[in-house]
Amino acid sequence: MPPIARPRRLVGVSLKMYFDLPSTLSYIRGVLQLDGDAWNARIDLFVIPDFVSLTESARILEPSSIILGAQDTFWEDKGAYTGEVSPLVLRQAGARIVEIGHAERRAAFGETDETVANKAGAAARNGLIPLVCIGEKTHHSVASAAVGAAIQECKPQVMSVLAAVPDDTEVILAYEPVWAIGAKEPADPDHVVNVTKELRNMAAGRTGTTRIVYGGSAGPGTFAKISEGVDGLFLGRFAHDIKNLNKVIQEPSMSRYETSTSTTTSSTGHHHYDTSNSNNNSNGSGLFDNHVACMTSNHDHKYATNDAHLGATTARDAETLSAGSTARNESTTRMMDGPNALEKDFSRQEPYGNGYGGQTHLDASVDSGTALHQIRTAGSISISPELFEKLYLSPPNKVKGDLRKTFGNPTPLALIGFLLSLHPLSMTLMGWRGAGGSGAASTGWYYFAGGLLMILGGVGEWILGNTFPFVVFCSFGAFWLGFAATLQPFYNSYGAYANANVAGSTGLESVGFNVGLAYFLIMMGLLCLVYLICSIRTNLIFFLIFFTLVPAFGLLAGSYLQAANGRAALAAKLAEAAGAFCFVTCLCGWYIFLAIMLASVDFPLDLPLVDLSSVVKGASEKRKVDHME
């Protein structure tokens, strides 16, 4: 039986608060000198300095594959939280992972499992990979009892984090028994292996990668004893000496097990990747399997979540992730001598040659299918940067094929059609500057903006597989077309209510016409109520749109009912109130439209939409928690 695919090895060190600024930067430069060693093709190395040193550390480590981390974060991106550190800012400063929930913070600052989970969710939301510290406080002398007690204490810590982060994002669990931190010896190897195996089982249902590292007085020789259960080590003060760090790194890098595909990208654009000859895990396994270079959405904004686009998706195409899965983990990876290509060597070189022969050069003119076949079967392959980006760095997308490259974001198209129709109507209903009536002057806009643009936007959402916005946009497009047709004489909707030998326009004042139109508006109000409930899982601004539309349609229906009763003054007041609610609706709509358009051109101003999906947990997330429990 072939070995089970496992993620790449991972070794990291936290500097805590032991170094001053010059000492920290000196240490970072020392770590940089280790990057040229042979291990960097086989393991991921990360270092976590203090906050003040982050930006300069990022500059120093820029030309390397060494990953920079932060020691903590806050659960909100922005706000009046004096002294806290935003995960958004950490990402912008160059951090790629963030340590959360260390035992020292749980003890000294009262951090709870809920606090840690919220921070982990915020980190994942901003493209950072949470490195969550877990571990039991009590050390039992009886081995069998110790394992059971540890698992029981660690389980709620793990479950709360896994429930807080998207299922397809990478999470690193640092198992650090509290009683082993700072001790003379690490925890018993059998204990570590047994506990970490159970931790891995807890995360077995995830589609994203979960790596487990051990921390707690780890040093030379530790990894060899516990490698059956962990993917690496998380080091403390012992590794504050560069020589000691180098000793520890060598051990995981020389250990051979089968890994699934891992692809990382340094901030300079140098690509580091290695593969295995095991059956590849289609979910990916590298530190950045869902965060290559930057966190992306289905459309334009690099750091956006699904706020700006109601149906944004984040999964990477499985065929791309599986590229190169037949090569061994130990195959060498290097830049070619020339500046225009990357080389991936799967040759027969010993001691890790895998029997592949031949040499092939691939450039951007090669189609993806041919390129993937060549990568799987050839020996030494040189790949142009353009083709590498095409194969490995394409934006995450659940939609099959190249739809993202073919279709833009349809949401703003539908929004502008909605706004160009409703905003003038709202001002007409309020009677601004002598306007009045049912908005017949804007009938053309109802047809070609409200109707045509909203249906086109809805069809675009349908193509991209986004059910909720597809239904919303198409239903409102139908509303505007129906409303426009009702106002047209050729449709004879009100003329049918006029008496014989009398102008058809008199039907506008008839009881039958006004009551019938009121029923239609009541149904639109009920439809918006359904949308209001569903929008609780989108963002605050979209929620406010339906929160104001529900009373607007209700008031407008009341206006027509009162007109049918002959109470013209009250009908006018109700119509004016409906116009006011519609006006607020439009202000929210213009805000969302501006946010999306700014993101589409990568404008530096980021308008918050306040994501509600993390506040109101989805049914799938709850089922995931129930299943894991």
DSSP per-residue letters across 241-299: SHHHHHHHHHHHHH----B--EEEE-TTS-EEEE--SSPPPTT--STTTT-SSS---SS
Query: What's the mean pLDDT in 196-205?
Result: 92
**Is the separation of the CB atoms in 125 and 112 below 8 Å?**
no
Mean pLDDT for 121-146 is 87
Residue 188: what residue type?
Answer: D
Average pLDDT over residues 374-395: 54
User: What pLDDT does residue 393 have?
Assistant: 52
Is the per-residue pLDDT at 269 higher than 80? no
Domain that holds residue 318: 264-405
Strand pairing class (171-175; 210-214): parallel
**Cβ(522)–Cβ(514) under 8 Å?**
no
Confidence category of residue 521, pLDDT binned at 50, 70, 90: very high
Same-domain pairing of 172 and 294? no
SS3 of residue 51 by DSSP: coil
pLDDT for 24 beyond 50: yes
Beta strands 342-345 and 333-335 are: antiparallel
Rounded distance, CA 264 to CA 283, Å? 15
Query: Which pLDDT score is estimated for 386?
Result: 57
Q: Which residue has the higher pLDDT, 277 or 15?
A: 15
Report pLDDT for 600: 84
Q: Name the residue with tokens 């326009």.
A: 505
Decide if 38 contacts 253 (C-beta within 8 A). Answer: yes
Please determine, for residue 300, whether its predicted confidence score (pLDDT) is greater than 50. Answer: no
* 382 found inside a domain: yes
Q: Vertex 109, ends 103 and 111: CA angle to 5°? A: 65
**Among candidate residues 255, 289, 317, the one where a domain is terminated:** 255
Q: What DSSP line would sit under 297-337, residue for residue? A: -SSS-TT--SSSSTT---PPPHHHHTTTTTS-TT--EEE-S
Q: Please check whether residue 607 lies inside any domain of the structure.
A: no
**Cα gap 611→605, rounded to integer Å:** 17
**What's the confidence (pLDDT) of residue 361?**
55
Do 206 and 65 lie in a common domain?
A: yes
CA distance 102 to 134: 7
CATH of the domain at 40: 3.20.20.70
Return the minimum-mean-pLDDT range out of 81-85, 535-539, 548-552, 609-613. Answer: 609-613
Of 87-101, 447-461, 514-528, 612-626, least confident by mean pLDDT is: 612-626
Omega into 3 within 30° of 0, i.e. cis? Answer: no
Confidence at residue 41, expressed as pLDDT on a 0 to 100 scale: 63
Structure-model confidence comparison of residues 406 and 357, the more confident one: 406
Are 206 and 283 in a shared domain?
no
Report which of residues 475 and 438 the model is more confident about.
475
Interatomic CA distance for residues 129 and 44, integer angstroms: 13
Instruction: Give the pair of three-digit tokens for residue 328.
Output: 């061994």
Among 194-203, 330-339, 468-477, 513-522, the range scoring the smallest mean pLDDT is 330-339
- Check whether residue 322 and residue 173 sit in a common domain: no
What angle do the packed helices 467-487 and 511-534 form, to 10 degrees? 170
Number of other CB atoms surrounding residue 142 within 10 Å: 9
Q: Residue 504: its pLDDT value, please?
A: 58
Q: Which of 277-281, 409-413, 602-606 has the lowest mean pLDDT?
A: 277-281
Is the pLDDT at 432 greater than 70? The verdict is yes
CA 41/CA 330 separation, integer angstroms: 8
Q: Which residues are tagged catalytic?
A: 102, 176
**Rounded Cα gap, residues 86 and 589, in angstroms:** 28
Q: Give mean pLDDT, residues 90-108.
A: 95
Confidence at 613, pLDDT banded by 50, 70, 90? confident
> Does residue 179 belong to any structural domain of this protein?
yes
The reported pLDDT for the residue numbered 327 is: 33
Give the per-residue pLDDT at 347: 37
Average pLDDT, the chain: 77
Q: State how far the Cα of 124 lies from the Cα of 87, in Å rounded to an integer.
A: 9
Q: How far apart are CA 619 and CA 474, in angstroms?
A: 26
Same domain, 127 and 168: yes
Do 301 and 391 sit in the same domain of this protein? yes
Same domain flag for 43 and 166: yes
Give the pair of three-digit tokens for residue 463: 């193509």
- Find the length of the chain: 629
Q: What tokens appear for 409 in the block?
A: 């974001």
Reported pTM: 0.45
* 417 and 400 housed in the same domain: no
**Number of structural domains in the chain:** 3
Do 507 and 587 lie in one domain? The reply is: yes
Tens-digit pLDDT profile for residues 329-377: 333 333 334 333 343 333 333 333 333 344 455 555 555 556 555 555 5
381 and 456, same domain (yes or no): no
Helix (H, G, I), strand (E, B) or coil at 137: coil
Amino acid at position 623, single letter:
R
Residue at which a domain ends, from 405, 432, 453 = 405
For residue 137, which amino acid is it? K
Residues 332 and 218 in one domain: no
DSSP assignment letter at 188: P
Helix, strand or coil, per DSSP, at residue 53: coil
Chosen domain end from 255, 272, 300: 255
Q: Per-residue pLDDT for 294 more than 90?
A: no
End-to-end Cα distance, the chain:
30
pLDDT the model gives residue 220: 87
Question: Which pLDDT belongs to residue 255?
Answer: 63
Q: Do 15 and 122 share a domain, yes or no?
A: yes
Residue 578 scores a pLDDT above 90 = yes
Are the C-beta atoms of residues 419 and 589 closer than 8 Å to each other? yes
Whether residue 143 contacts residue 195, with contact meaning beta carbons closer than 8 Å, is answered with no
